[in-house]
Amino acid sequence: MLGYPAHFGQLECLKLIASQKFTDKRIGYLGAMLLLDERQDVHLLITNCLKNDLNSTTQFAVGLALCTLGAIASPEMARDLASEVERLMNSPNAYIRKKAALCAYRIIRRVPELLEIFLPATRSLLSEKNHGVLITGVTLITEMCQNSPDTLEHFKKIVPNLVRILKNLILAGYSPEHDVSGVSDPFLQVKILKLLRVLGRNDAEASEAMNDILAQVATNTETSKNVGNTILYETVLSIMDIKSEGGLRVLAVNILGRFLLNNDKNIRYVALNTLLKTVHVDTSAVQRHRSTILECLKDPDVSIRRRAMELSFALVNPQNVRTMMKEMITFLEKSDAEFKAQCSAGIIHAAERFAPNKKWHLDTLLKVIIAAGNYVRDDVITCMIQLISESTSQQGYITLQLWKALQDDKIDKQPLIQVATWAIGEYGDLLLTVSIEDMDMVRPTEDEVIEVYQRLLWSPQNSATTKQYTLLSLTKLSTRFINSNPKIQQIVSSFCSSLHIELQQRGVEFTQLFGKHGNLRAALLERMPPMELVRQETDAQANGDSEQLETKSDDSPKHTNNESNALLDLLGSDSSDLDVIKTTNTTTQAVTNSNNQDLLDLLGGLDVSPSIPTTDTGLNLISENNNPSIPFNNTNSNFLTGDFFSTNTNTIKEKDVPTLTAFERNGLKITFALEKLPEASNTLSINVTATNTTLSNMTDFLFQAAIPKTFQIQMLSPSGTVLVPNGEITQVLRVMNPNKNVLKMRVRISYTIDGTTVQEQTEVNNFPNTIWD
């Protein structure tokens, strides 16, 4: 019995079974059920003994054989003796019929294909007056219906018989033999209700036949005793599983609602568990018991709290999301550690689906990462970072809120620190400028922020990942804060000797941005673009947006017109300047007056930028929104394998490079610093620097350029879009000149100053010829 070899007793069991004494047989069969299984050779020897006892004239010997067969039957033994069991199901003895039906139930579970053998004998079991035979017959039919769809269809016609039996049980008077706490044969009632549930599932006609009796059971059953609650529970399961009427489902949910008020913890747990399974069938009916379900969150029993939490999340919808999330956050703050991960994930998911606005969504996520602490899952961190990135109007607000949460000296919540440092690093300038009228807090200073960062970086409680977030954020603040660069550089350089290899590598690389590669720091540490825009673009491409596909088609007239209009817009021309532009596969020709001959010379050689697929218009428009990952035209496809897209910072040396002034007007000065890349002899790096000498901010700053078609150009993203007084914006252009032609460039600059939008344009023709040597 405990796994030890039992071969010493197996033959003794056979001897006892073969005895003529009933007491010996009983001990022998008991031993056989405990010590034998189908892996034993002796198991085959018992088949003949069982067959002899199944034909015995003593009902108790037959009963012992049926019990043993049901317990230890192998597939082979079941096939050999199934006909004997089927014969005994028609026996005039009710005791034997009951045992035979139970044995048939076990055989069907062991060998389902033997089901058809017992089907004829099973039909007569429902007409039995004996409750024992009747309950075994219902159990056998239920098993058959669950195993075979054909058998299920066959037995659907017995629904009226089952309804009649159940109605008689409800209306029957007191019967001492079958009464349990005032309920007539609750075991048989439960079995019938289960069979009705199986027969009525996905069948409107069968469901209609049992609706009335289910309503009677639900309203007439005594609820003061546990046995009545058992019947009601099975009734609720049947109502919710069949195609029942709407009013009947509401009645079932109300029964479960009464269960929630019961003092018995087991009944409350069963009610919550059942509501969780049926909440999607009739959500509005379950919503009526929302307050009771929320009260179960305070139950001392851990199992009840867990089921109440899961059910509460299932009840969240757009109408109650504010109230429910308030309750769930309160539960999260007070709950045990084992609940925090699951609860926080549920709140995040509900907020993602039903958030009324971005501000509420951000506030909810902030409360979650504060309340759950280190139990927050990693995906919650990335979820909140993405939400902050795409909520452009709320970035200043949430950054201030995260800063406020970060000021706690005892804080050791890694997810909160990671999200807060990321946000402050990206939007540190907003931290110092956003309005705080509606917030109960004092605006931080640069020194206060650096002090908190220093504490976080030296704290032994913070993980290496958190320190990586913090170190990168601090480096980004060097381009957001004006007066703290020396202190930031000192802190960053201290990590050059860190024992953690990742932190050491970051420290060394970031320190380079404060030294000889300082001119790259602003561009490399610029603010990340909103993630939502990238996702929408990807979604549009995945959905096959017809308008986008039309725009990208080389043969599309609409695309050609757009390109031509953009060219005319960039060059400051209109229809009066150009009479017509004729394009061929090789050259672009234009008919115009002699005054615009130089313009047309440049116009005829313009190429398409990497961000716009090539068309025959011959235009190359470059702006800050270019995507370098999009290939060039086919004629230069091999150019992608070169170093044109390399971002290796080692290409810029600390030496004098040729510079020229491309534009200077109204306080705006743009200079080009030219440098030839050593890795590619025909590639020129142009470092564009825009300087504001006025006393006002220049916002929405945009730099665009057009070059002849014989060149290829890539424009990296600018260091920013806001040009503060005495400040500067840097941008890197890379131009490839495979034919060593003379470089010309037409540029356009647009910005907003003091509420006025300004657009300027110029032509740069004074590039030195020696730059390509």
The dihedral sign for the CA sequence 83, 89, 92, 96: positive
- At residue 651, the pLDDT reads 37
Looking at the structure, do residues 576 and 683 belong to the same domain, yes or no? yes
The DSSP code sequence of 592-656 is --GGGHHHHHHHTTB---TTS---TT---EE-TT--TTS---GGGGGGGGSSTT---GGGS-SS-
Cβ pair 370, 416 in contact under 8 A:
yes
Cβ pair 519, 687 in contact under 8 A:
yes
| CA 589 to each of CA 558, 582, 604, 710: distance values in angstroms, whole numbers, following the listed order | 20, 5, 6, 15
Residue 678's pLDDT band (cuts 50, 70, 90)? confident
End-to-end CA distance of the chain: 94
Cβ pair 226, 180 in contact under 8 A:
no
Provide the edge-to-edge strand list for the sheet that holds 668-676.
659-665, 668-676, 683-692, 728-736, 712-715
Cβ pair 621, 566 in contact under 8 A:
yes
Distance between CA atoms of residues 438 and 429, nearest Å? 19
Residue 38's pLDDT band (cuts 50, 70, 90)? low
Cβ pair 358, 336 in contact under 8 A:
no
Residue 657's pLDDT band (cuts 50, 70, 90)? low
Cβ within 8 Å of residue 569, ≥6 positions away: none
Looking at the structure, do residues 601 and 467 belong to the same domain, yes or no? no
Query: What is the C-alpha R_g of the chain?
Result: 41
- At residue 504, the pLDDT reads 92
| CA 209 to each of CA 40, 690, 749: distance values in angstroms, whole numbers, following the listed order | 50, 83, 79
User: Does residue 267 lie in a domain region?
Assistant: no
Cβ pair 726, 693 in contact under 8 A:
yes
Cβ pair 559, 553 in contact under 8 A:
yes
User: Does residue 376 lie in a domain region?
Assistant: no
In total, the chain counts a number of residues equal to 773
Residue 700 backbone zone (phi > 0: left; psi -120 to 50: alpha; other: beta): left
Cβ pair 62, 53 in contact under 8 A:
yes
User: Does residue 652 lie in a domain region?
Assistant: yes
Looking at the structure, do residues 514 and 565 belong to the same domain, yes or no? no
Cβ within 8 Å of residue 653, ≥6 positions away: 675
Strands 588-591 and 580-583: antiparallel
DSSP code of residue 711: S
User: Does residue 436 lie in a domain region?
Assistant: yes
Looking at the structure, do residues 615 and 515 belong to the same domain, yes or no? no
| CA 192 to each of CA 127, 215, 563, 696: distance values in angstroms, whole numbers, following the listed order | 14, 15, 76, 84
Residue 598 has pLDDT above 90, yes or no: no
By three-state DSSP, how is residue 674 classified?
Answer: strand
- At residue 730, the pLDDT reads 92
Distance between CA atoms of residues 475 and 467, nearest Å? 12
Least confident of 134-138, 524-528, 558-562, 680-684: 558-562
- At residue 328, the pLDDT reads 92
Looking at the structure, do residues 435 and 579 belong to the same domain, yes or no? no
The CATH number of the domain where 646 resides is what? 2.60.40.1230
Q: How many domains does the chain have?
A: 2
Residue 737 has pLDDT above 60, yes or no: yes
Beta bridge partners of 581: 590
Looking at the structure, do residues 657 and 743 belong to the same domain, yes or no? yes
Q: 477, 500, 524 — which closes off a domain?
A: 524
Looking at the structure, do residues 460 and 577 belong to the same domain, yes or no? no
Angle at which helix 358-372 crosses helix 337-354, to 10 degrees, equals 170
Least confident of 97-101, 611-615, 685-689: 611-615
Q: 482, 503, 524 — which closes off a domain?
A: 524
Residue 42's pLDDT band (cuts 50, 70, 90)? low
User: Does residue 164 lie in a domain region?
Assistant: no
User: Does residue 629 lie in a domain region?
Assistant: yes
Cβ within 8 Å of residue 311, ≥6 positions away: 272, 275, 276, 279, 286, 293
Cβ within 8 Å of residue 319, ≥6 positions away: none
Cβ pair 592, 568 in contact under 8 A:
no
Encoded tokens for 352: 């993602």
- Greatest CA span in the chain, whole angstroms? 129
Residue 623 has pLDDT above 70, yes or no: no
pLDDT in tens, 273-320: 888 888 887 788 888 888 999 999 998 999 999 999 999 999 999 999
Write down the H helix ranges in 57-185: 59-72, 75-88, 94-110, 115-123, 131-147, 149-155, 159-171
Mean pLDDT along residues 53-57 = 86
pLDDT in tens, 315-351: 999 999 999 999 999 999 988 888 888 899 899 999 9
**Residue span of the structural domain in which 766 resides:** 556-773
Looking at the structure, do residues 518 and 560 belong to the same domain, yes or no? no
pLDDT in tens, 115-169: 888 888 888 888 878 888 899 999 999 999 988 888 888 888 888 888 888 888 8
Looking at the structure, do residues 515 and 577 belong to the same domain, yes or no? no
The dihedral sign for the CA sequence 514, 519, 520, 521: positive
Distance between CA atoms of residues 50 and 56, nearest Å? 10
Closest listed residue to residue 361, CA positions, set 318, 332, 331, 404: 318
pLDDT in tens, 84-110: 898 998 888 889 999 999 999 999 988
Compute, in degrees rounded to 10, the torsion defined by CA atoms 136, 139, 144, 150: 110
- At residue 719, the pLDDT reads 87
Strands 659-665 and 683-692: unpaired
pLDDT in tens, 63-78: 998 998 888 888 888 8
User: Does residue 12 lie in a domain region?
Assistant: no
Encoded tokens for 358: 């971005």
- At residue 327, the pLDDT reads 92
Spell out the SS3 assignment of 7-21: HHHHHHHHHHHCCCC
Share of the chain above pLDDT 90, in %: 17
Looking at the structure, do residues 641 and 758 belong to the same domain, yes or no? yes
Angle at which helix 358-372 crosses helix 414-433, to 10 degrees, equals 140
By three-state DSSP, how is residue 736 classified?
Answer: strand
Encoded tokens for 11: 């033959």
Distance between CA atoms of residues 371 and 164, nearest Å? 57
Residue 415 has pLDDT above 50, yes or no: yes
Beta bridge partners of 762: 747
Q: 508, 524, 540 — which closes off a domain?
A: 524
How many Cα neighbours within 13 Å face the side chain of 316?
25
| CA 67 to each of CA 11, 27, 63, 469: distance values in angstroms, whole numbers, following the listed order | 20, 13, 6, 69
pLDDT in tens, 468-527: 999 999 999 988 888 888 888 899 999 898 888 999 999 898 888 888 788 888 888 888
pLDDT in tens, 531-555: 754 333 334 343 443 333 333 333 3
The dihedral sign for the CA sequence 665, 668, 674, 679: negative
The rounded mean pLDDT for the chain is 78
Amino acid residing at 303: S
Beta bridge partners of 306: none
Report the 10 Å Cβ neighbour count for 749: 21
Looking at the structure, do residues 765 and 665 belong to the same domain, yes or no? yes
Distance between CA atoms of residues 590 and 198, nearest Å? 82
Looking at the structure, do residues 511 and 624 belong to the same domain, yes or no? no
User: Does residue 225 lie in a domain region?
Assistant: no
- At residue 410, the pLDDT reads 61
